[in-house]
Structure 1
Amino acid sequence: MTQSDIQLVKYSWSVVERIDPVVAGGIFYKRLLDTAPHLRPMFREPIPMQSKKLMTMIGYVINRLDKLDTILTDIKQLAQRHVQYGVKEEHYAIVGSALLWTLEQALAALWTVEVKEAWTACYQLLSSAMIDAVAETPQRA
């Protein structure tokens, strides 16, 4: 990600995070589960609670994008928790698509080609880090 990408993601996130996290997260989960209903069993908590956690985690990461090295351990731990929920590598593309769609809905006219490219780069960077963290971890028998 470039410095420009980071600034675009941070600014656009500052707009999105003004939306009630239950509403914004609910839009994301509705899109995700409409497009991939087979993922529903992975979500054990009520969607409103899951939405708050999602929005908090995204905010945490976005606010530290310019110093990712400070949160790499957190990202790896998050990846490990996701494995316990049944998340597989192929799920990251599905989630990424739902996330970008949700951001597009939330940002409306602010969703420019540049913003889309910045968020795409951001998601690819973070999802790759999570996938790599799982791949590096020895699997238990």
Structure 2
Amino acid sequence: MGAFTEKQEALVNGSWEAFKANLPYHAGVFYTLILEKAPAAKGMFSFLADGVDTNNPKLKAHAEKVFELTRDAAVQLRANGVVVVANAPSLGAVHVEKGVVDAHFLVVKEALLKTIKEATGDKWNDELSNAWEVAYDALSAAIKKAMS
């Protein structure tokens, strides 16, 4: 894999803005997709106890954080070629405590990509998908490293 390009960073940043423009809706899409694929994930997130409620501020905040960390990963990849998560030890610990395994990262990745696809509409294409995938994979690798 080559370096993360300026164009890839711009694609992620632009679609991040589209995601944020309707955060409650997109947060709902994101968690609905996660629960469709992995119903047991409901027990991993306290804010999903009663299902996907887009009025729940914790649901919106967590979705925003996941997408924001992925966007930050894109910015870091472009600038430094590596992703460093600021609060990696505590983030790793929370993931371990919740019983997160590799398969969960794949479920979240699929939901993240489908949510961005929904947010970007006709701007969605392979190049945009790839930019998010590379950023998410780098973020996941940093979190997994913090988990070990």
* Residues 65, 52 of structure 1: alpha-carbon distance in 2 compared, 3 angstrom cutoff: same
Residue matched to 2:109:
96
The residue matched to 2:102 in structure 1 has which SS?
A: coil
AA partner of residue 66 (structure 1): V
Q: After superposition, what is the alpha-carbon deviation per residue over 1:95-124, rounded to whole angstroms, capped at 9, x for unaligned? A: 101111111111110111110110111111
For residues 44-89 of structure 1, what are the alpha-carbon distances to aligned partners after superposition, in whole Å with 9 as ceiling and x for unaligned?
1244322322214523552574246795232443232222222112
Amino acid corresponding to residue 17 of structure 1 in structure 2: K
Deviation at 1:22, TM superposition (A): 2.2
- Structure 1 residue 131: deviation in Å? 0.9
Structure 1 residue ranges, 4+ long, deviating more than 3 angstroms after superposition: 67-71
TM-score by length of 2: 0.78
1:54 corresponding residue in structure 2: 63
* 1:108-123 mapped onto 2 (5 Å cutoff): 108-123=121-136
**Does 49-58 or 69-78 show the bigger shift?**
69-78
Distance 2:111 2:100 in 1: 15
Identity of aligned residues (%): 26
Letter in 2 for 1:90: A
CA distance in 2, matches of 1:2, 1:76: 28
Task: Please point out which of 2, 8, 11 is paired with 2:14.
Answer: 11
RMSD over aligned CA atoms reads 2.2
Distance in structure 2 (CA, Å) of the matches to 1:60 and 1:98: 15
Give the total of aligned pairs.
Answer: 134
In structure 2, the CA distance between the partners of 1:77 and 1:65, relative to structure 1 (3 Å rule), is farther
Ranges in structure 2 where 5+ consecutive residues have no aligned partner: none
